[in-house]
Amino acid sequence: MAMAKVKLYDTTLRDGAQREGLSFTVDDKLKIAQKLDELGIHYIEGGWPGSNPKDIEFFRGIKDYPIRNATIVAFGSTRRKNTLPDEDQNLKALIKAGTPAVCIFGKSWDVHVTSALVTTLEENLKMIFDSVSFLKNRGFEVIYDAEHFFDGYRNNEDYAMKTLKAAVDAGADSIVLCDTNGGTLPLEIREIIRAVKAKIKVPLGIHAHNDADCAVANSIVAVEEGVTQVQGTINGYGERCGNANLVSIIPNLVLKLGIPCLGREKLPLLTEVSHHVSEIANIAPDTHQPYVGESAFAHKGGVHVSAILRQKGAYEHVDPEVVGNVQRILVSELSGTTTLLQKAKEIGIDLMEKKDRVADILKKLKKREHEGYHFEVADGSFALFILKNIGTYRPLFELESFEVGIDRWRTGRFETQAIVKLRVKGKRIVEVAEGNGPINALDRALRRALEPLYPDLSRIKLTDYKVRVLDRRKGTAAVVRVLIESTDGESTWGTVGVSENIIEASWQALVDGIEYGLLRKTLKAKS
């Protein structure tokens, strides 16, 4: 059946910001709004001007930015009980925000009316009608969010429908049905929307929370039932378990259902926007997030890899490039010969001329994985492992020794010092450095020794450091795996070290990160 174009309503800056541990500055919100506009989002909810000064400042500041595609929306609530609309401070703040559209929420659940608002059911209907008509009479596009609608409908169907009718009679441009507690299942969403559509003739929207892990599915089902506005957030950020994830909803609508909520030419921006927002939010991207996660198109099993190399899309439901992502081949103990050949080729090493060694290399790789190495997230160490096993590895330096000392002063202050002794290009070099810990001190000492002879090292920075205990039963004597992430500003790579000694494991990963960083361009030139 033909479906009307769906409008996307983003509430990352308001509802998404209610996620635990997330706090946007005004500048953060302005940057995200520009990115959402670039993506082509139809409505961007900037915040609740009646609740805090930060959101007031956002609405003032966004006027100076060239928003080309989106309508900026101010969010608020219906008037307070027993108050005239023109005396209500919340409604005044919405007007002062100066946005072309406003979104206000009201109570649909009779229990909330009597227990949360502590007013009568009749007064709540008047609050909805008065607030919507007050804003419509002042020229705003008014979106009415029916809070807790699905719970309210189940509890008292007749009253829940009366709240919607009050908004419709007052002139609301659209009615959004909210699954505020996030516990409604797709089948219920479908049945209730069908019942509502039979009686409400203004455009409907859906606002789903993810407490039952159904927010995306509920949003899709709602669209299938004729809803024309979908509210959600980037990466599903939001209170408790989050909101419906627009990053998943958008490609599902466009690619799976053929519903043009965005032009296909905008889809390659999805991965960029997802990571942009997570970076500003200071939240690590979910590597397993559908469509845009780093692992969304990562292939590990040998059978899978062999198949996708023969037939594009054999184990992928969409082309990763369509959503701005990339296919990745992982190496692990599950890898086969095809995986090893393809992965080596990706990093600039052609093993086709050394196919007689591939079986032996694969055997050694699986042995190292069994010992605790984890090459699928350590491209740098994997490349060096291959070079060492085909006889083309040439170390950039030879380690004579290193020493790390930690002193604790009577004041309680700790001081860490590292000494490295190396042989580099025929020279013996000894360097000393202090750091805020043993690994930091080693890193600094190693850089002091190498940078004069390898100037490109100054561009290589350590961006992440993780330690995992592999056998907890051994306590402090357990083997640990250290993963280090490095970057030169253009690319990022991982390296790994494994040992019962955390300093040794860290040294392995640290040295691999530096060596691969300096060799990377040479390898890439060959690929």
Give the end of a domain, one of 350, 368, 386.
368
The vertex-95 CA angle with 90 and 99, nearest 5°, equals: 120
Residues β-bridged to residue 433: 418
Nearest partner of 482 among 397, 412, 370, 378, judged by Cα: 378
Q: What pLDDT, on the 0 to 100 scale, is given for residue 415?
A: 86
Residues 254 and 341 in one domain: no
* Amino acid at the residue 45: E
Question: What is the DSSP code (8-state) at residue 183?
Answer: -
Residues 82 and 161 in one domain: yes
Residues 356-393: b if buried by 16+ CB within 10 A, e if exposed: eebeebbeebeebbeebbbbbbbbbbbbbbbbebbeee
Establish if 118 belongs to a structural domain.
Answer: yes
Establish if 337 belongs to a structural domain.
Answer: yes
39 half-sphere exposure, CB direction, 13 A CA radius: 32
Identify the domain containing residue 134 by its residue range.
Answer: 7-262
d(CA 309, CA 289): 23
Q: What pLDDT, on the 0 to 100 scale, is given for residue 334?
A: 46
Q: How many domains does the chain have?
A: 3
Residues 224 and 303 in one domain: no
Angle of the 302-310 helix axis to the 337-346 helix axis, nearest 10: 60
Domain CATH number, residue 412: 3.30.160
Tens-digit pLDDT profile for the chain (527 aa)? 445 689 999 999 999 999 999 999 999 999 999 999 999 999 999 999 988 899 999 999 999 998 999 999 999 999 999 999 999 999 999 999 999 999 999 999 999 999 999 999 999 999 999 999 999 999 999 999 999 999 999 999 999 999 999 999 999 999 999 999 999 999 999 999 999 999 999 999 999 999 999 999 999 999 999 999 999 999 999 999 999 999 999 999 999 999 999 999 999 999 999 989 988 888 878 889 999 987 787 766 554 545 555 556 556 789 888 998 876 665 544 455 666 666 677 666 777 666 667 777 777 877 887 788 877 678 888 888 888 888 778 888 899 999 999 887 766 778 899 999 999 988 999 999 999 889 999 999 999 999 999 999 999 999 888 888 877 667 667 888 899 999 988 888 889 999 999 999 999 999 999 999 988 866 655 54
Nearest partner of 159 among 124, 200, 186, judged by Cα: 124
Establish if 12 belongs to a structural domain.
Answer: yes
Residues 364 and 406 in one domain: no
The answer to whether 457 and 518 have CB atoms below 8 angstroms apart is: yes
Residue with tokens 């060596």: 515
Residues 76 and 210 in one domain: yes
Establish if 122 belongs to a structural domain.
Answer: yes
Residues 212 and 319 in one domain: no
Establish if 94 belongs to a structural domain.
Answer: yes
d(CA 363, CA 370): 11
Give the end of a domain, one of 405, 427, 453.
453
Residues 93 and 242 in one domain: yes
Q: What pLDDT, on the 0 to 100 scale, is given for residue 371?
A: 82
In sequence order, which residues have a C-beta less than 8 Å from that of residue 485 and are 6 or more positions away? Answer: 462, 463, 464, 465, 492, 493, 494
Residue with tokens 């049905």: 177
Residues 255 and 320 in one domain: no
d(CA 60, CA 44): 15
Residues 348 and 422 in one domain: no
Give the end of a domain, one of 432, 453, 474.
453
The answer to whether 380 and 372 have CB atoms below 8 angstroms apart is: no
Residues 361 and 437 in one domain: no
Residues 254 and 302 in one domain: no
Q: Tell me how far the alpha carbon of residue 197 is from its chain's centroid.
A: 34
Establish if 287 belongs to a structural domain.
Answer: no
- Terminal Cα-to-Cα distance of the chain (whole angstroms): 48
Establish if 513 belongs to a structural domain.
Answer: no
Establish if 356 belongs to a structural domain.
Answer: yes
Residues 13 and 159 in one domain: yes
d(CA 430, CA 148): 68
